[in-house]
């Protein structure tokens, strides 16, 4: 296409500076470097290209500083061919900064408070989650109520049952799946 072509629209051409391209490449390399410490199970959930997956595993194996630096650059190069949104969402979730993850934790906390405050709420929870150990759940609720009463009376009691109840709820209420909208 020549410059004199009347069909050519100059608005369609997006000029990208070298600085911007370099900054984007460095961002992707940093994102790739953040994947290196993750365990294999988390990496497999990302459905990464085989070359990138193998490069990340290789980076874990390397010990020499120069080799690690070269491997990180190679990972950065491979990251340019991957959508960074799911990767960032996973890293955010693992770091605990995902909005969806935080909302899920708050939901669990509210449910725990409701179960401790209102015994009738237990029936609804058991109906929604038939696999829960009802006896253990009731025991934790009673213990958490006792801990709260002891704390109100001025006794120094660690909230052991309170924490165990949260853990039990966490085991029975699945975290919402990751989506690309979760990245910050």
User: Does residue 107 contact residue 179 with C-beta atoms inside 8 Å?
Assistant: no
Residue tagged 């015994």 (tokens): 119
Question: To which H or E segment does residue 30 belong?
Answer: helix 18-35
Which domains, from first to last, does the chain contain?
16-82 (1.10.60), 99-181 (1.10.60.30)
Give the C-alpha distances (Å, rounded to integers) separating 3 from 9, 10, 11, 118.
Answer: 10, 10, 14, 75
- Which DSSP string corresponds to 73-112? HHHHHHHTTS-HHHHHHHHHHHHT--HHHHHHHHHHHHHH
Give me the chain's average pLDDT, please. Answer: 84
User: Does residue 101 contact residue 178 with C-beta atoms inside 8 Å?
Assistant: no
The segments of the chain whose pLDDT lies below 50 read 1-2, 180-184
Cβ neighbours of residue 177 closer than 8 Å, sequence gap 6 or more: none
Q: Report the alpha-carbon distance of residue 76 to residue 73 in Å, rounded.
A: 5
Render pLDDT for 100-148 as a digit per residue (tens, 0 to 9). Answer: 778 888 999 999 999 999 878 988 888 988 888 999 999 999 999 999 9
What is the per-residue pLDDT for 183? 40
Q: Report the alpha-carbon distance of residue 101 to residue 95 in Å, rounded.
A: 10
pTM exceeding the 0.85 threshold for the entire prediction: no
What is the per-residue pLDDT for 58? 93
**Terminal Cα distance for the chain, rounded:** 40
- As a residue count, the chain comes to 184
Among residues 129, 98, 99, the alpha carbon closest in space to that of 115 is found at 129
């Amino acid at each position: 296409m020549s410059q004199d072509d009347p069909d050519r629209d100059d608005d369609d051409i997006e000029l990208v500076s070298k600085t911007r391209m370099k900054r984007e490449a460095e961002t992707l390399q940093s994102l790739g470097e953040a994947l290196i410490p993750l365990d294999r199970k988390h990496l497999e959930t990302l459905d990464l290209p085989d070359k990138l997956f193998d490069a990340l595993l290789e980076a874990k194996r390397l010990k020499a500083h120069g080799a690690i630096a070269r491997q990180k650059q190679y990972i950065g190069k491979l990251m340019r061919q991957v959508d960074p949104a799911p990767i960032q969402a996973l890293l955010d979730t693992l770091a605990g900064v995902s909005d969806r993850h935080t909302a899920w934790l708050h939901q669990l906390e509210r449910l725990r408070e409701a179960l401790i405050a209102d015994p009738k709420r237990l029936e609804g929870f058991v109906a929604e989650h038939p696999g829960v150990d009802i006896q253990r759940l009731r025991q934790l609720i009673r213990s958490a109520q006792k801990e709260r009463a002891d704390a109100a009376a001025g006794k120094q009691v660690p909230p052991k049952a309170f924490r165990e109840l949260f853990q039990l709820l966490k085991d029975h209420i699945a975290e919402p799946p990751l989506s690309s909208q979760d990245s910050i």
